[in-house]
Amino acid sequence: MADLARRAALTDLQLDYAFGIDSRDWARYRSVFTDIVDMDFSSWHGGTALRIPADEWVAQVRDRQSGFDGTQHLLSNHRFAFDDAGATGTAYVVARHYLNVDGEPHVQAIGGYYFHRFVSAADGWKIAACTLNFLWTQGDRNLFRHAARRWADKS
């Protein structure tokens, strides 16, 4: 039973990650991370992996996602392995991004899977590292630029 409880807690943590973004609940999104996180989204946008304070990461995600009219990050097929350092896990992701540009609705979607490294903290499990393994995309990747510009204009 203890193993099932740990798996349920890690699944909930991953779902809080997704729901925090989609609901623009940045406190919830921040709550899933350790204070310093290793983030690697290079398979999606190039660049390099980052070791970054979680507050800075959350601010970057807020600035990239808040300009969309809506987002929906769907996670499934959760798998976990436990060890002395904590746990690792994967979850499939389909992330859909919606934006109205000049009166026309646009959708951009990303598919792949997350690889997470989790640590147990005093207040529960936390994500210490996250890697997006990008597999496919559909739609206009430039929507991210439009959304960021829109958010900057509002801010």
pLDDT digits (tens, 9 = 90+) for 113-140: 999 999 999 999 999 999 999 999 999 8
Residue 153 has pLDDT above 70, yes or no: yes
Instruction: List the one residue out of 1, 3, 2 whose CA is nearest residue 79.
Output: 3
Question: Any idea where the domains of the chain sit in the sequence?
Answer: 2-154
Structure confidence by residue, pLDDT tens digits, 1-32: 578 999 999 999 999 999 999 999 999 999 99
Q: Tell me what percent of the chain is helix, strand and coil, each rounded to the nearest 5.
A: 35, 50, 15
pLDDT at residue 83 in the model: 93
CATH number for the domain whose boundaries are 2-154: 3.10.450.50
Structure confidence by residue, pLDDT tens digits, 58-86: 999 999 899 999 999 999 999 999 999 89
DSSP characters for 66-114? TTSSEEEEEEEEEEEEEETTEEEEEEEEEEEEEEEETTEEEEEEEEEEE
Q: What is the mean pLDDT of the chain?
A: 94
